[in-house]
Amino acid sequence: QKEVEQDPGPLSVPEGAIVSLNCTYSNSAFQYFMWYRQYSRKGPELLMYTYSSGNKEDGRFTAQVDKSSKYISLFIRDSQPSDSATYLCAMREGAEKLVFGKGTKLTVNP
């Protein structure tokens, strides 16, 4: 079993839809959880950063972490065509390397 599992999709939704992206993980020591967005032929950019369990909201984006279930989610409200990208979850224990999911490719259709 991989340390971090993420459904690669692809996921296609109409503009304005609510998008839900998820990752599961096996290492209970992970404490720091991130979501990166990667546009085609670009490097990943940090979207959301969460420490431990709970929710974090930033504009149209909400990140949720459930450590008891080893499950993290990213919700995108009122999705826009400009949200079309690959979304990568990443996590680490502390002062350790980031462990990434394989990424979910999202397309938002106008």
Partner 1 sequence: GAGVSQSPSNKVTEKGKDVELRCDPISGHTALYWYRQSLGQGLEFLIYFQGNSAPDKSGLPSDRFSAERTGGSVSTLTIQRTQQEDSAVYLCASSLSHQETQYFGPGTRLLVL
Mapped onto helix, strand or coil, the DSSP state of residue 82 is helix
Q: Least distance from C-beta 72 to partner 1, angstroms?
A: 15
CB atoms within 10 A of CB 2: 11
Of 59 and 95, CB closest to partner 1: 95
Distance CA(99)–CA(26), nearest Å, equals 11
Distance CA(13)–CA(72), nearest Å, equals 21
Q: Is 95 in the site for partner 1 (CB under 8 A)?
A: yes
* Among the residue ranges 10-18, 59-67, 68-76, 87-95, the one whose residues contact partner 1 (CB under 8 A): 87-95
Q: Are 89 and 35 in contact (CB under 8 A)?
A: yes
Q: Which of 14, 59, 94, 110 binds partner 1 (CB under 8 A)?
A: 94
- Residues near partner 1 (CB under 8 A) are 6, 8, 36, 41-46, 49, 88, 90, 94-95, 97-103
